[in-house]
């Protein structure tokens, strides 16, 4: 086997690992370059040739990465790589990488077998939830009464107190409502990770779901979204690759 010189200005952008035999034909990644798979011992590294002399990662590259990884997640299990990794443009090295880490890859693929991730986010209609807080929390109601005629934007201590009271009451309400949502959802998922949400988010969760359970989960969430729609909007994204279930793995 001839030793080929590794071009120093081209690398292999790395998207993740899938089972060998996965069809990657027609997938295009960063710079619209065709995706390839490098196979070794039942595993396949998903890569594409990448010119290395370039400015730091930009949004179109992030989108391309997600597009490739999520397209594969629709049809097979994938261990998704973090954005931005380029290996040497050397098939032997890539195969060596699969060899070194093969057992770990196989263990993760097995754990993910038949499952996909979905992201669930429920967000309060802010006016509605703030109205509830005023109606249900006497402290908030009183501070609101006291501060109604103060000029906005000026940090009067009572305004700050009102904001703090709202924040505390909102946290209590969010905790309760999030629990209710999780009670509905958790019986239908294999695993979940609760993520940090925005100010008016009720819940932001990554769900790991068995594929056959997905239609029923969607059905429950559609019913839920209708029932709660005056208080919150419910958003479900996916199936996507199991990004949140890699347990913070650092390899190599």
Partner 1 sequence: MTVQTSRRSGGGYLERPAPSGLADVVETILDKGIVIDAYVRVSLVGIELLTVDARIVIASVDTYLRFAEATNRLDLYEKGGKDLTEAIGDLQESGAAKKVGGAVKGVKKAITGSSGDDEDDEDERPRRRSSSSSRRRETSRG
In the region spanning residues 150 to 179, those forming contacts with partner 1, defined by CB under 8 A, are 152-153, 155, 159-160, 162-164, 166-167, 170, 176-177, 179
Which of 3, 25, 59, 110 is the binder for partner 1 (CB under 8 A)? 59
Q: Does residue 246 interact with partner 1 by CB under 8 A?
A: yes
Going by C-beta distance under 8 Å and a sequence separation of 6 or more, which residues neighbour residue 17? Answer: 43, 44, 45, 46, 78, 79, 81, 98, 105, 109
Give the number of C-alpha atoms closer than 13 A to the C-alpha of residue 145, restricted to the C-beta side. 8
Instruction: Enumerate residues 25-54 that contact partner 1 by CB under 8 A.
Output: 52, 54
What is the pattern of x (binds partner 1, CB under 8 A) and - over residues 7-26? ----x-xx-x----------
* Contact (Cβ atoms closer than 8 angstroms) between residue 113 and residue 46: no
CA-wise closest residue to 194 among 246, 121, 248, 125: 121
Alpha-helix residue ranges (DSSP H) falling in 205-244: 214-228
Q: Does residue 205 interact with partner 1 by CB under 8 A?
A: no
Which of 43, 44, 140, 208 is the binder for partner 1 (CB under 8 A)? 140
Which of 41, 57, 99, 175 is the binder for partner 1 (CB under 8 A)? 57
Q: Does residue 110 interact with partner 1 by CB under 8 A?
A: no
**Of the ranges 19-27, 33-41, 55-63, which one interacts with partner 1 (CB under 8 A)?**
55-63
Q: How far is the CB of 201 from partner 1 (least distance, A)?
A: 9
Q: Tell me, by CB under 8 A, how many residues bind partner 1.
A: 98
Q: Which of 41/216 has CB closer to partner 1?
A: 216
**Of the ranges 19-27, 31-39, 77-85, which one interacts with partner 1 (CB under 8 A)?**
77-85
Q: How far is the CB of 1 from partner 1 (least distance, A)?
A: 22
Secondary structure (3-state) at 20: coil
Going by C-beta distance under 8 Å and a sequence separation of 6 or more, which residues neighbour residue 16? Answer: 45, 46, 69, 72, 78, 79, 80, 81, 241
SS (H, E, C) 182-207: HHHHHHHCCEEEECCCCCCEEEEEEE
């Amino acid at each position: 086997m001839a030793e080929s010189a590794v071009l120093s200005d081209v690398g292999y952008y790395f998207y993740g690992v899938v089972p060998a035999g996965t069809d990657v034909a027609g997938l295009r990644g960063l710079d619209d370059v065709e995706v390839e798979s490098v196979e070794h011992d039942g595993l396949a590294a998903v890569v594409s040739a990448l010119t290395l002399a370039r400015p730091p990662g930009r949004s179109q590259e992030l989108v391309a990465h997600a597009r490739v990884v999520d397209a594969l997640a629709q049809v097979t299990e994938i261990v998704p790589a973090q954005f931005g990794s380029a290996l040497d443009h050397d098939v032997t090295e890539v195969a060596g990488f699969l060899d070194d880490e093969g057992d770990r890859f196989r263990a993760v693929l097995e754990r993910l077998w038949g499952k996909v991730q979905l992201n669930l986010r429920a967000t309060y209609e802010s006016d509605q939830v703030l109205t509830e807080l005023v109606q249900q929390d006497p402290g908030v109601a009183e501070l609101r009464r006291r501060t109604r005629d103060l000029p906005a934007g000026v940090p009067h201590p009572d305004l700050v107190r009102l904001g703090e009271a709202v924040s505390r009451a909102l946290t209590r309400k969010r905790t309760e409502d999030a629990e209710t949502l999780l009670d509905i959802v958790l019986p239908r998922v294999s695993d979940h990770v609760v993520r940090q949400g925005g100010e008016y988010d009720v819940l932001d969760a990554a769900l790991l779901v068995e594929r056959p359970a997905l239609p029923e989960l969607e059905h429950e969430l559609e019913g839920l979204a209708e029932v709660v729609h005056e208080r919150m909007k419910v958003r479900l994204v996916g199936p996507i690759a199991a990004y949140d279930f890699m347990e913070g793995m650092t390899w190599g």
